[in-house]
Amino acid sequence: EGGSATRRRRSRRRMGEGEPGPTWPPLVRTLARISVAAAGCIFSGAALAVLGLCIPPALVFTHGRSVWREIESTACCRRLLATGKAGPELARLFSKVARFAMCLAAFVALACASSVVGAVAGALLGLTLPFLVATFGSGAPDHPWDWHGGRCCLRGDVAAERHQNRHLRALLEHGSLSCRWEALRRRDGHGGHHNADHSIFVRFVLPPPGARRKGILVYQHGLHCHGSNTTSSELALFFAERGFVVALPDAVGHGQSDGDFALVTDFEELAEDLCHVCHSCRERFPRLPLFLMGESMGGLLCLLAASSGMLGQELRAVLATCPAFLIHRPRESAADAIVDALPLDYLARILPKLPCDKGVVGVCYPEEAELRQRAVEDESWDGLVHTDWMRLATANTFKRDLLSFTGRERLLHKIRNMEHPLLVQHGGADRCVDIRGSRYLVRTLNRQNFGASLVEYSGKCHCLMTEDEGTKAEYLETSLRFICEFCDSTH
């Protein structure tokens, strides 16, 4: 699966532009972007210095009498005026001269101070803003201070060699299954962070040659993961051994697909991409029934794709595991009130890659030490999993659509249009996505005489595929039984 085409695609993905990126190391690119700080420093410093010079005349013009009284009330001015008792005429003259001198001195001192402060503030602003945009703005390298340029471009190659394909390779060596990948091109792009022409990386796991093919299962990964990580590969192998063609797409901004890494700006755009993947799968396997399955954010995307009306009757059923509908949120504090007052939409467009929230780091895996350690090790070895803090653009999307009542109701209004059988599976001890959201979702759909069912796994975590072998087997068998109820096509 390697070759120059794969390396070029990975290079394009890592550079985030959709075309082969420059060969300069990320550190050089970052310094070149920061070089505009010199011009910005001079311009903003001069502008604020001029603004500082305008402050004293404005004060004198608007508050002249108050300023005059403040000057006369100073001890120095009173002493000077007291020396004018030698004579009435001399006192009046001396008083006028003293007042003028004190006013001029105060005016000059204030003008100098305000201009210096303005110049310093402008220089700091001129340095800070270009620095932040260069390191966290759109198109900034994933590792802006890395001198070795290959680290970003070949990240996917390193991940493939280290970890992410070991499960697939083990079975491919025995010749029981086959695997291939393809970059699906979307030329009808839309707004948001998507390019008008972007590619979606999809890996296909096919049943053994000569085996009866029962259907197509499109499995969508969760936030900051990709379609070829450990859990997705294990699930794909399970269904492929039982006669299903499994498609594992990487969402835009994830894995080896195009887009800025680890950025999610619109769930509905990603759902449209998922519909595009489903149409492509149906074109390749037209006689097979289609099924959608997803975990966490992937489960939400499956619900949105199924309710969009773009798949029609070709979709037989939907499976959503711990769908990201109601996100756990700690108690609100004063910091939350400050964040709510910020123009987050504007900041997310300027600094989309700014790390701002811990997100789901450390809360997705089992509480049992051995299982948790194994899941963390798998994640740390996978070079295509984003393990750092959630970036500002992604955090703003989750806050807007999932952490607000109006955002959830808007999504639920769309999901109500779904007309396909639905199975929701959720861990009872999920600390990432609240199980009450799945219960509310199923109850709402069933009020419309809709066939939705919920299976709860008591005491289990958000990632059910990282639990013990018994839970994992129960989860996979439950999914298989539900899908087989709607498999009536042969190939």
Residue-wise pLDDT for 7-57, tens only, equals 344 444 444 444 444 455 666 666 666 666 566 666 666 776 677 667 666
Q: Which of 44-48, 303-307, 366-370 has the lowest mean pLDDT?
A: 44-48
Q: Is residue 3 part of a domain?
A: no
Q: Looking at residue 434, what is its pLDDT?
A: 93
Q: In the prediction, which pLDDT does 258 show? A: 87
Query: Is 19 part of a structural domain of the chain?
Result: no
Residue 295, domain member (yes or no): yes
Amino acid 192: pLDDT: 46
Give the residue with greater pLDDT, 295 vs 343: 295
Once rounded to an integer, what is the mean pLDDT over residues 206-212?
Answer: 88
Do 186 and 75 lie in one domain? The reply is no
Higher model confidence: residue 19 or residue 283? Answer: 283
Answer yes or no: is pLDDT of 5 > 80: no
Q: What is the pLDDT of residue 396?
A: 93
Lowest mean pLDDT among 192-196, 226-230, 260-264, 418-422: 192-196
> Sorting pLDDT into bands at 50, 70 and 90, what band is 69?
low
Residues 313 and 461 in one domain: yes
Beta carbons of 220 and 249 less than 8 angstroms apart: yes
Q: Can you tell me the distance from the alpha carbon of 438 to that of 339, in angstroms, rounded to the nearest whole number?
A: 28
* Mean pLDDT for the stretch of residues 140-146: 67
Are the beta carbons of 319 and 432 closer than 8 angstroms? Answer: no
Evaluate if residue 337 carries a pLDDT over 90: no
pLDDT category of residue 324 using cuts at 50, 70 and 90: very high
- Supply the pLDDT for residue 461: 94
Is 110 in the same domain as 192?
no
> Is residue 2 domain-resident?
no
126 and 189 share one domain: no
Q: Do residues 264 and 234 make contact, with C-beta atoms less than 8 angstroms apart? A: no
- Point out the domain boundary residue: 120, 136, 152: 136
Are 456 and 379 in the same domain? yes
Over residues 165-186, the mean pLDDT reads 71
Residue 64 has pLDDT above 70, yes or no: no
Residue 223 pLDDT > 70: yes
Q: Do the domain assignments include residue 284?
A: yes
* Same domain (yes/no): 374, 440: yes
**Does 157 score more than 80 pLDDT?**
no
Residues 240, 268, 304, 458, Cα dihedral to 10°: 70
Same domain assignment for residues 107 and 197: no
- Indicate if the pLDDT at residue 215 is higher than 90: yes
Return the amino acid letter for 121: A
pLDDT over 80 (residue 130): no
Q: Is the pLDDT of residue 349 over 80?
A: yes
Given a cut of 80, is residue 150 above it in pLDDT? no
**In degrees, to the nearest 5, what angle opens at C-alpha 272 toward C-alphas 251 and 355?**
40
Residue 248 pLDDT greater than 60, yes or no: yes
State which of 121, 136, 151 marks the end of a domain: 136
Query: For the chain, what is the mean pLDDT?
Result: 78
Q: Quick check: 211 and 244 in contact, CB under 8 A?
A: no
Residues 233 and 109 reside in one and the same domain = no
Residue 62 has pLDDT above 80, yes or no: no
Residues 416 and 368 occupy one common structural domain: yes
Indicate the residue among 136, 154, 176 that finishes a domain: 136
Higher pLDDT, 186 or 266: 266
Which of left, alpha, beta for 74 (phi over 0: left; psi -120 to 50: alpha)? beta
More confident residue, 353 or 36: 353
Q: Inform me whether the pLDDT recorded for 210 exceeds 50.
A: yes
Q: What is the pLDDT of residue 218?
A: 98
Region of 475 (left: φ > 0; alpha: ψ -120 to 50; beta: rest) is: alpha
Total length of the chain: 491
Bigger pLDDT: 136 or 28? 136
Please state, in angstroms and rounded to a whole number, the distance separating the CA atoms of residues 181 and 375: 25
What is the mean pLDDT of the segment spanning 348-375?
Answer: 86
The verdict on residue 491 lying in a domain is: no
278/172 same-domain check? yes
Render pLDDT for 428-459 as a digit per residue (tens, 0 to 9).
Answer: 999 999 999 999 999 999 887 678 999 999 99
pLDDT, tens digit, for every residue of 375-421? Answer: 888 888 777 888 888 999 999 999 999 988 899 999 999 999 888 99
Instruction: Give the pLDDT score at 21.
Output: 44
The verdict on residue 374 lying in a domain is yes
CATH number of the CATH domain containing 408: 3.40.50.1820
Segment 73-114, tens digit of pLDDT: 666 666 655 655 545 565 566 666 666 676 777 777 777 777
Residue type, 252: V
Range among 165-169, 176-180, 438-442 rated most confident: 438-442
In a domain, 366, yes or no: yes
Instruction: Report the pLDDT averaged over residues 366-371.
Output: 90
- Please give the average per-residue pLDDT across 247-272, as a whole number: 92
Looking at the fold, whether 208 and 253 belong to one and the same domain comes out as yes
Q: Residue 191 — very low, low, confident or very high, per pLDDT cuts 50/70/90?
A: very low
Give the pLDDT confidence score for residue 261 in this predicted structure.
Answer: 87
Residue 450 confidence (pLDDT):
72
Average pLDDT (332-354) is 79
Amino acid at 97: V
- For residue 90, the enclosing domain spans 36-136
> What is the average per-residue pLDDT within 245-251?
96
Q: Number of structural domains, the chain?
A: 2
Q: Name the more confident of 29 and 134.
A: 134
Instruction: Assess whether 367 and 426 both reside in one domain.
Output: yes
